Amino acid sequence: MVLLSDLLSSVRVKVPLEATTKDALLGELVDVLVADRCVSDREPVLDVVRERERVLSTGVGHGVALPHGKTDACDRLLIAAGVTREPVDFDALDGAPVQLIFLLVGPESAAGAHVKALSRISKLVRQPEVRLRLMESKDRETFIETLREAEAG
């Protein structure tokens, strides 16, 4: 079983995220993938994530958003994550602003892994203590360590 902490290296975690709007947050997380040389062309990736948000917000509640999209601009499933300085309006299903964001993008051929990763993240962040510890992470190393500990159970 592949762990989320294996898919999400510390260089793809940004604490804190600087953006203060939903659209800017999406761009900032895509830029994290570009900076790590996981994605060479920012716009197709950002376009699919924005389009998915137009269909239905990925703000899943309790201050968490899971924006995602499928594009052949990625050769494998990629995850970036971050924590905002202040809560940001994300049109979340519960109406609450978000602070904890996991971005998932990958090719159509990785659809199964994509769904499994979304499910695993959802399961972890439904645990209030894990969600709070991730939101309170002061740096990327603490974020990754919290994720590892939560996955270890």
3 state SS of 59:
strand
Q: In the structure, what pLDDT confidence band is assigned to residue 40 with cuts at 50, 70 and 90?
A: confident
Helix (H) or strand (E) holding 102, with range, is: strand 98-106
Q: In the structure, what pLDDT confidence band is assigned to residue 1 with cuts at 50, 70 and 90?
A: low
Does 2 score more than 80 pLDDT? no
Taking only the tens place, the pLDDT of each residue in 61-80 is 999 999 999 999 999 999 99
Beta carbons of 146 and 81 less than 8 angstroms apart: no
Q: State which amino acid sits at residue 6.
A: D
Q: State which amino acid sits at residue 59.
A: G
Rounded mean pLDDT of 21-33?
Answer: 98
Cα–Cα distance for residue pair 149/153, rounded to 1 Å? 6
68 is catalytic: yes
Class of domain 4-152: alpha beta
For the entire predicted model, the pTM comes to 0.96
Rounded mean pLDDT of 139-147?
Answer: 96
Count of Cβ atoms closer than 10 Å to residue 75 Cβ: 13
The active-site residue, picked from 14, 22, 68, 140, is 68
Rounded mean pLDDT of 18-41?
Answer: 96
Rounded mean pLDDT of 35-59?
Answer: 95
pLDDT at position 6 = 85
